[in-house]
Amino acid sequence: MSFRLLLIEDSPTQLLTISKTLQTEGYQVIEARNGAEGLARAYHESPDLIISDVVMTGINGYQLCRLVKNDPDLSTIPVILLTKLDGSVDRFWGYQSGAERYIPKEPGFRSLIQSIAEILEDPSTKPRLRVLSEPTKTLTAEDINNRLNQLLERLLFEATIADEVRKIAEDELNIDTVTTKLFELLSSILDYQAVGLVINCGQHSVLKVDQSPSLEANALKAYVAKLAMQLGMPPLKDELPRSHYLPDNSLTQPIDIRGQRLGLLVVVPYPQQILKPGDQKVVRLIGEQLSPVLRLLDMHLSRLKV
């Protein structure tokens, strides 16, 4: 079975030239003349690889790549962005959009052919089977615009959260200030019964918690401290009494940077509740953004000890 490539190009001349070049190399080529048509073809045809021009009217190549990489049905499809733009900023946006390759257009398209071969020869890449018995998705222009707007809103939301986490380190750098601001941020986004933050301070760990009055603080601390020990954190300075508190719906997010475990974030929803996928993603995002904050805190505390 030969590989099937989806080629998205709004220039009829370029579309014809590139398509013939790829067919000569033995590939099956599915053609689309703009981003909206390309996205619809991606759903209908389930290609093995997508090649898209960047500068197009309507949905451009960057936006199309973002939509593909953020859609569960399409995210595993490799994407090559093919363009006349070759500046460093353009390459940056190309890779930030999730593209596997960002290739300038050139006579003969040798770089494109080589990149296609390298991606498709990867052992993890196998021809995608299109299940004809399944109904295909029919996307209207409104559907595509809605998906694009949802993506932009989500990216803005994530950028806002990342910015708020970074602000935690802008003022006084001490454990109490950092944890207070973090708990204020978390409580403004999530509805939880308790949250615990464990901070690696070298020989020992520091544990801070924020819990509802219905939950006994020492029981929560004992539970979070046990998790921290299991995940490689130094022991707490003060020993806690044993507790049988063991929630089955908590979410644990390690806070790492360059292989070093700086901390641990534990969020416990109310009983009989679970964190929705969107909430879980928020916790992961906050954990990722906390890495540089805790690193700065660690460096600041180390300087104070000198």
In a domain, 146, yes or no: no
* CATH number of the structural domain spanning residue 72: 3.40.50.2300
Provide mean pLDDT across the span 62-78: 89
Average pLDDT over the chain, rounded to an integer: 87
Residue 129 counted as domain residue: yes
Mean pLDDT of the region 82-102: 78
32 alpha carbon, distance to own chain's centre: 28
> Is residue 261 included in any domain, yes or no?
yes
Grade residue 134 by pLDDT with cuts at 50, 70 and 90. very low
Q: Is the pLDDT of residue 122 over 90?
A: no
Q: What is the pLDDT of residue 197?
A: 97
Question: Does residue 109 share a domain with residue 169?
Answer: no
Average pLDDT over residues 203-210: 94
Residues 117-139: what's their mean pLDDT?
Answer: 64
pLDDT score, position 304 = 74
pLDDT for the residue 87: 63
Find the mean pLDDT for residues 167-178.
Answer: 86
CATH number for position 165: 3.30.450.40
pLDDT of residue 50: 97
In a domain, 147, yes or no: no
Whole-number pLDDT of residue 156:
80
Indicate whether 136 pLDDT > 60: no
Predicted local distance difference test score (pLDDT) of residue 86: 63
Counting the structural domains of the chain, the total is: 2
Percentage of the chain with pLDDT > 70? Answer: 92
d(CA 213, CA 227) in angstroms, rounded, equals: 22
When pLDDT is averaged across residues 108-123 and rounded to a whole number, the result is 90
pLDDT value, residue 120: 92
pLDDT in tens, 225-263: 999 999 999 999 888 878 889 999 999 999 998 889 999
Let me know whether 171 and 259 are in one domain. yes
Structural domain includes residue 148: no
**Which pTM was predicted?**
0.65
Least confident of 36-45, 139-148, 155-164, 229-238: 139-148
My answer on whether 30 and 62 are in the same domain is: yes
Instruction: Return the higher-pLDDT residue of 72 and 91.
Output: 72
- pLDDT value at residue 209: 96
Residue ranges making up the domain that contains 69: 4-139
